[in-house]
A and B are shown apart, each in its own frame.
Chain A
Amino acid sequence: MLSNIGISLVILVLVLSFSTIYAASLDLKISNRFISENIYKLSLFQTTFTILSFFTLIIGFINSDFSLINVYENSHTTKPFFYKIAGAWGNHEGSLLLWVNILVIFSYLFLVFNHTHNKQFRLYTLIVQNILILGFLFFLLLNSNPFNSIYPIPPEGMGLNPILQDPALAIHPPLLYVGFVGCSIYFSAAIGSLLSNYDGKLFARSIKTWVKISWCFQTLGIIVGSIWAYYELGWGGFWFWDPVENASLLPWFAITALMHSLIVLEKRNTLYSWVIVLCLLTFILSVTGTFLVRSGILNSVHTFASDPSRGIYILVFLSLMIFSALIIFFSKNHNENYNFNLKSREIFILTNNWFMAFFLLTVLIGMLYPIFLDVLTNKKISVGPPFFNIVIIPLVVPFMFLMAIGPKFGWIKSKNKIFYKSLLLSLGAVAINLFIFYFFGKYSFLSNLIFTAAIFLILYSFLDIIDSINKRTKFEFPRAISHLGFGMLVFFIGINHQFSTEEDFNLKIGEVKKTTNYEINFEKIEIKESKNYKSVTGIFKLINLKNSSIQNLNPEIRIYSSPETLTYEAAIKTKITSDLYLTMSNVSRSDFYNIKFQKKPFMIWIWISAFIISLGGFVQLTLKKNED
C-alpha cells in the first residue's frame, strides 16, 4: 500500500520535472519580464509531492511497515521512536530520497526568492536544476528505490546498525545533505548564468545567500560527524583523515573558496569565470564524494553498505554532468580584465583561494592515490594521517597570518596603516606563546609557530569584533566571528595535541592501576537489560593523585540483539578545562578488560570553536540585505 503511494508520488514528481523543463523552455521564447504563473505552480506541486513522498517513507518507518524492503532491512519494532524516524535517512535509498527532496525544495525557493533577477537566467537555472532532479530520480527509481515492496511480509525487521543509533548521527545526514545538495542550486545557477550571459555582479548577488546557507550546514554537518566519531568510535580522536571524512572536506574547501571570491565578484565585478568554476566544482565534488563512499571504492573505516552498480550509475551521471558543464563553460567564455593591486583585498582573497585549492588538492591526492595505485599496480596501500599533517599544518601558519590582516585591506588599493597594529599584536602573540611554552610544557618549533599564528589571529579577530560593535559596521561582524573561530580551533587542537595523555592497559575486575596523575580502580561490573540491548557497565573510580578528588567513570559494553552487534560506549567526563575519556572492551570473554584512558585538555573548546566558525555564517544570514 505505502509502496504504491510512494512510487506514484515519485513518478508524479518525475512527470512534473519534465513538465517544468518543457514549460520553462517555452517561456524562454516569450520576451517579457515575468515568469509564467504556471511554472510557479508546477514547481510548487513538485515540491509538495516530493515532501509527501518523503513523509510516506517516514510513516513506513514509524509504523514498521515491513512490506517495504527498505524498512525491513533498516528498522525493527523495538527500536526507539526517534531512531525509527532517523532510520528513514540512515540508509542509502532513504537518503537518496532526502537528496531529491533538497534538490526540489532548493529549486523552488531559488525560483521564488530571486524574483528581481533576469527572467532568462532564472528559467535556465530552473531547467538545469530539473535536469539534475531527473538524473537523481531515475537513479532512485531504477537502482535504489526506497519503496520497493517485499512479499510475503516479514514479521520483524533486521534493525539499524546500533552504532548509527545515536542522536548526533541521526541529525548528521540531513545537515550534511542540506550542505552538499544545496550546492546544486548554484551549480545550476552558474550554468544558467553562462547560458543567459548574465551580469557577473547580479549573478553573485543571486547566489550569495544560497552559498552561505549550504556553507553553514556543511560546516555544522562536519562538526556533528566529528563529535560522533569522538565519543562513539572509542579512539579518543575526532579527526582520522579517513577517506569518508576527506570526502566531506573536499566540497567544504571549494565552497569556502567560493564564499570568499564571491565577494570580489559582487563588489568589483571581476573573477567571474573563477567563481563559475568554483560553483561547478563544489557540487561536482559533493557528488564525487558520495560516489566514492557509496560505491565502496574507498576503503574506509566507516562502512556504508556498498554496491558497485550504484557507483557506475553515479559515475556516468557525474561524467555527463562534468562534460556538459565544461562544454558550456568554454563555449561561453568571457573575456575579463584582471587588474589587481598587490595591496588590495582582492589579492588577499585570491591568496585565500590559493590556500583552499592547495588544501583541496592535498586531500584529493591523498584520497585518490591509493585507488590509482591499486588499479595500476595492484598494490594495496593507505595514506596515513602523517601525510595530511605534514603537508597541511605548516601552511596553516602563513594562512592564519594572512587571514588576520587580509580583511584590513581596502578594495582596489590601500595604504600601510595597519602595519603598527599588526606588529604590536604579533609581539603580543609571541609573548603569550612563550608564556605557555615556559609554564606548561615544551613543544617543537613548528608548534611554536602555530600557536603564535593562532593567537595572532584570535587577537586580531577579537579586536575586529569589538571594533565592529563600536563603529556599528555590521558587515565586518560575521566575518570576524568566523575567523576568530578558526583561530581558536587551531589553537585548541594544538593545545589538545600537545598536552593530551594516553594510557593503555588491561585490568581484571577489582584491580587498581596507577598512572602518573591518577589511580584507576576497576571496582565491579553491572549487567543491565535495556529495551533493545543488554549492557555491561564498568564501575571505575578515579582518584586524582594531585588533589585526591574522586571521579566516577562508567564505560559500557552494549550487546544489541537486532542486528547482533557489540558496541563500546566511552565514558567521558567533560569539564571546561579537560575531558577524561575512558573506554573498556573485552576480548573473547577473558578476565581481562582492555582499558584506554585519556586526558584531553580543552576538548570541549574544539567543538565550541568549530561552532563559532559556523555561527559567523548564520549571523551573516540574519543581516538584512542593505546592511550586507
Chain B
Amino acid sequence: MLTKKVKNRILFLIFIFLLSVVTVFFIIKSLKNNILYFSSPTEIKKKEDIQFGKAMRVGGMVKKKSITINKKNIQFIVTDFENEILISYSGTVPNLFAEEKGVVAEGRLRDKNFFIADRILAKHDENYMPPEIKEIIEKNVK
C-alpha cells in the first residue's frame, strides 16, 4: 500500500506532468499558426498550393532600375536571377535598401507576381547578406 504522503506526491507529479504537456501543446499549436515561411520568387512560381492570405517572407535582390515611387507607395522588383516578383510597400524603407542589394519583405501575396509588404527588412551591415538570399544567389548565379 502507498502511504498518503507518497500518494500525494504521485498526484502532484502527474498534475505537473499534465500541465507541462498542455503547456507545450499550446505553445506548439500557436507556433504552427504563426510561422512565416521564407520563399524566393522561383519557389513562389513553382508552388501550387499557395495560401494567398497568409503572412510570409519573400527575399532576393532588388532589380536594377525597378524602383518606382508615387504618393502612396514604393514598388520594386525582387529577383533571384531566375524569376521575379513585384513588391508594393508603403512606409519608410530601411537605410540599406537599395538597388542590387539583398532585401527581405514581410507581407502577403496578392497573386503569384504581386506581393504587398507590411515590413521591409534590410540588414544593418552593408557587407552582410541574409543567409537565405545568399543560398539562392549562389544557386542561380554561377
Contacts and interface: CB of A to CB of B under 8 A. Distances in A.
B71 A384 contact: no
A358 B36 CA distance: 23
B36 A383 contact: yes
A381 B54 CA distance: 13
Give the one of B24, B30, B97, B132 with max A CB within 10 A: B30
Contacts of B36: 381-384
Contact of A365 (B31, B94, B124): B31
A514 to B, nearest CB: 12
Interface in A150-175: 161, 163
Nearest to A340: B12
A504 B37 contact: no
Interface residue tally on A, bucketed by range: 35 or more
A588 B34 contact: no
A370 B96 CA distance: 25
Contacts of B94: 234, 585
A568 interface: yes
A173 B92 CA distance: 28
Contacts of A369: 31, 35
A390 B34 contact: yes
A587 B30 contact: no
Given A379-B37, A382-B36, A588 B91 contact: no
Contacts of A17: none
Give the one of B38, B98, B99 with max A CB within 10 A: B38
Interface string A373-389: 00000011111101100
Contacts of B69: 506, 587, 590, 592, 594
A380 B132 contact: yes
Given A387-B31, A387-B34, A390-B34, A594 B126 contact: no
Contacts of A517: none
A131 interface: no
B26 A299 contact: no
A384 B35 CA distance: 6
Contacts of B123: 301, 303
A587 B98 contact: yes
A361 B126 CA distance: 34
B140 interface: no
B8 to A, nearest CB: 10
B95 A565 contact: yes
Interface in B78-127: 90-99, 106, 119, 121, 123-126
A596 B126 contact: no
A506 B34 contact: no
A362 interface: yes
B67 A588 contact: yes
Interface string A577-599: 00000011101101010111000
B18 interface: no
B14 interface: no
A391 B92 contact: no
A384 B93 CA distance: 19
A565 B96 CA distance: 8
B92 A596 contact: yes
A565 to B, nearest CB: 6
Contact of B27 (A365, A566, A592): A365
B2 to A, nearest CB: 17
Contacts of B37: 379-381
Interface string B25-62: 01110110111111000000000000000010100000
Nearest to B98: A588
A384 B54 CA distance: 12
A365 B32 CA distance: 11
A299 B131 contact: yes
A491 B1 CA distance: 53
A142 interface: no
B126 A563 contact: yes
B4 interface: no
Contacts of A163: 124
B72 A505 contact: yes
Given A299-B131, A504-B91, A565-B126, A383 B72 contact: no
Contacts of A234: 92, 94-95
Given A504-B92, A594-B74, A594-B93, A380 B34 contact: no
A568 B91 CA distance: 13
Nearest to A507: B71
B131 A161 contact: no
A595 B69 CA distance: 12
Contacts of B131: 296, 299
A369 B28 CA distance: 10
B73 A382 contact: no
Contacts of B130: 299
Nearest to B67: A588
B128 A303 contact: yes
B95 A585 contact: yes
Contacts of A358: 23
A592 B28 CA distance: 44
Give the one of B57, B73, B94, B106 with max A CB within 10 A: B94
Contact of B38 (A303, A382, A565): A382
A617 interface: no
A302 interface: yes
B70 interface: yes
A468 interface: no
Contacts of A296: 131
Contacts of B119: 235
A96 B87 CA distance: 41
A606 B96 CA distance: 29
A564 B98 CA distance: 14
Interface of B: 23-24, 26-28, 30-31, 33-38, 55, 57, 67, 69-74, 90-99, 106, 119, 121, 123-126, 128, 130-132
Interface of A: 161, 163, 234-235, 296, 299, 301-303, 305, 358, 361-362, 365-366, 369-370, 379-384, 386-387, 390-391, 504-507, 563-568, 583-585, 587-588, 590, 592, 594-596
Given A384-B106, A564-B126, A587-B97, 10 more contacts: A234-B92, A299-B132, A379-B37, A387-B31, A390-B34, A506-B74, A506-B90, A566-B95, A568-B95, A587-B74
5 contacts: A361-B24, A506-B70, A506-B73, A568-B92, A585-B92
